[in-house]
Structure 1
Amino acid sequence: MTKKVLIVLTNETRYQGTDDPTGLWLGEATEFAESMEQAGIKVDYVSPKGGFVPLDPRSMKYTNKSIMEFYETKDFQQRALTQSLRPDQINPADYSAIYYTGGHGVMWDFPDDPKLQKIALSIYNNDGYITSVCHGVAGLLNIKDNNGKYLIAGKTITGFTTAEEIIAGKKSVVPFLNKQEVEKRGGNFKKKRAYKEYAVQDGHFITGQNPFSPKAVARLLLKNIK
């Protein structure tokens, strides 16, 4: 039986310290989930607190027909946006991969969540894949192996770039810059042009650069688990 893929979503509703709303970048969840389902792979949705997942209002300006149709399904609205699972409801043995979505909110609730880190490490140690897109790379930063070493040390990964933060007008409000944090932990941060599709695989890590990359991450993952 093919194992499922676990999709991680944020519970953060605003850029901390401001009144500006944020949340899940919609397409980063729907495009990946739809790619999995089209390949016959089931997905589950988890968030640090479980339950309600807010949408980044800016992400609604960057939708298309397929994003909107997936968003409008009862399954996605219930299982992802209103009844996402809590980490303590997850059995890592059920999954062949974990996928961290983005939206700026994840920069606050993904990096220091020990329960999610434990799930990711367990999937990884069970020969599974750790994947992310855009700001979702924040979820990878502090996962450590059983010897206390950063899992991304020595790995080539990508995520939302400093240039992309500047273009988005958010460099002054984010709590950190992805490239700096990856490099601090010994990772090798690779990038392509701003806002172009790009995903990279290094062993059991598959990461995408920006909101245009969920399908590229999905394609690489499917090559490995199908």
Structure 2
Amino acid sequence: MVLSSYGEQDAEGKLVKPGYEFDEMSKSYLVFAASGAQVTFASPNGGKLVTDKYDASKPYNEKFLANQDAVAALESTRKLSDIRSADYDAVYVVGGKGPMFDLAKDQNVKRIIQEVYEDDGIVGAVCHGPAALLDVKLGDGSHLVDGKRISAFTNEEESVFTKAWTMPFQLEDKLVEQGAVFRQDGLMLNQVSIDGRVITGQNPFSTADTARAVVKALGLENDGSLEFRDDRTIMLVERFFADRVAAMQDFTAHMDRYDPMLLAMFGVYQARYANTQAELDVALTLMQATQETIKHPMLDVAIAKGFLAKNDSRQARVVLTASNQKFPENEEISGLLESLTD
């Protein structure tokens, strides 16, 4: 498993350079370990690395952090320059913003990827991890990604979610420039592309399935009991696009299996950046389904704005009127309601 060394903190512990994504690392590690795979952590500089901000209380992070051997290995990553690729059946690159700055141009990771692949091994990467696949040349001089179906963090996702950092390039564009057949699902939906022995995932919610695909390609058994609530929630979102009635019935009957806050936030972002009527309809359904659980004024505002985007000012007024009674001090709600009343 390859991790970025780019992350850096200042004297106060504030992140001043982005690193690797801890959630992607922990989910992937748990999937690999459960299959019986032996995992080595490696990075350009070796040693202990700086990760992007993460929630240690998430179940998969808690489980990883409780494994003293895994934590010790993470805190003493091997240098990529010391890695002998013949010792490994697969190389897997974890995402985070950091890979865009160091792994995108690190010659050692490119050597390892090329050697593992040409020795009939598996190459996997998720989110921004596919930046490490750029400029990997095979023995015949072609780019590794040329003509292959590849998924990675999309231009759209970059524009929506990458606010704190200025990326050195657009990953989607660079992959396409080198011949990749770029494959993507909607905003932050799960997409894994498998093209022979190259396996790539679009975003953080694609992590576990990308790792599972690597396990399967290695001929190992996946642990079917290993599931993650946030990934399950995103899969439910996809079901809302296919059959809203059935998805709603499932959510209502098994709310404990899903993350209502994640559903609500997905609805908010989906409504804000919807490109089609179907996307807007699903966004409204998700926000309304979680409204009673979340009980937050900003969710009411987002729902009202969703109805306004559908040119349904009557329903927007209904939502805002009820919300104004619950949150009479909220100026955005009262102001939006007043603008509809005028």
**When the two structures are superposed, what TM-score results if normalisation uses the length of structure 1?**
0.89
Question: Which residue matches 1:69?
Answer: 63
Matching of residue 47 in structure 1 with residue 78 in structure 2: no
Work out the CA distance in 1 between the residues paired with 2:169 and 2:65. Answer: 30
Percent same amino acid among aligned pairs? 30
Question: Which residue matches 2:72?
Answer: 78
Question: Which residue matches 1:110?
Answer: 103
Shift of 1:88: 2.7
CA RMSD of aligned residues (A): 1.8
Shift of 1:70: 0.4
Shift of 1:75: 2.1
Q: Deviations over 1:80-125 (max 9, x none)?
A: 1x21001232121121110000110110110111111111111101
Tell me the secondary structure at the aligned position of residue 113 of structure 2: helix
Question: Which residue matches 1:4?
Answer: none
Shift of 1:67: 2.1
Work out the CA distance in 1 between the residues paired with 2:97 and 2:192. Answer: 19
User: For the Cα contact (< 8 Å) 2:44–2:81, is it kept in 1?
Assistant: no
Matching of residue 151 in structure 1 with residue 144 in structure 2: yes
Question: Which residue matches 2:27?
Answer: 31
Shift of 1:168: 1.0
Decide which structure has greater strand share.
Answer: 1
After TM superposition, the structure 1 = structure 2 runs for residues 154-173 of structure 1, keeping only pairs within 5 Å, are 154-170=147-163, 173=166
Shift of 1:205: 0.5
Q: Deviations over 1:39-89 (max 9, x none)?
A: 1111101001111211101xx149621222203422232211x21001232
Work out the CA distance in 1 between the residues paired with 2:118 and 2:57. Answer: 36
After TM superposition, the structure 1 = structure 2 runs for residues 12-31 of structure 1, keeping only pairs within 5 Å, are 12-14=6-8, 20-31=16-27
Question: Which residue matches 1:120?
Answer: 113
User: For the Cα contact (< 8 Å) 1:162–1:171, is it kept in 2?
Assistant: no
2:64 maps to a residue whose letter is: F
Tell me the secondary structure at the aligned position of residue 217 of structure 1: helix
Shift of 1:21: 4.0
Shift of 1:132: 0.2
Structure 1 residue ranges without an equivalent (≥5): 1-6
Tell me the secondary structure at the aligned position of residue 40 of structure 2: strand
Question: Which residue matches 2:225?
Answer: none
Work out the CA distance in 2 between the residues paired with 1:162 and 1:171. Answer: 16
Matching of residue 223 in structure 1 with residue 223 in structure 2: no
Work out the CA distance in 1 between the residues paired with 2:62 and 2:159. Answer: 27
Decide which structure has greater helix share.
Answer: 2
Tell me the secondary structure at the aligned position of residue 189 of structure 2: coil
Q: 1:172 to 1:66 in 2, by over 3 A?
A: closer
Tell me the secondary structure at the aligned position of residue 212 of structure 1: helix
Say which one has the larger Rg.
2
1:46 maps to a residue whose letter is: A
Work out the CA distance in 2 between the residues paired with 1:62 and 1:148. Answer: 44
2:206 corresponds, among 213, 216, 222, to 213
Q: Deviations over 1:159-201 (max 9, x none)?
A: 0111111221439711111110001101111100111222110
Matching of residue 184 in structure 1 with residue 177 in structure 2: yes
User: For the Cα contact (< 8 Å) 1:165–1:171, is it kept in 2?
Assistant: no
Matching of residue 134 in structure 1 with residue 130 in structure 2: no
Q: 1:69 to 1:144 in 2, by over 3 A?
A: same
**When the two structures are superposed, what TM-score results if normalisation uses the length of structure 2?**
0.60
Matched pairs, number: 214
Work out the CA distance in 2 between the residues paired with 1:169 and 1:134. Answer: 12
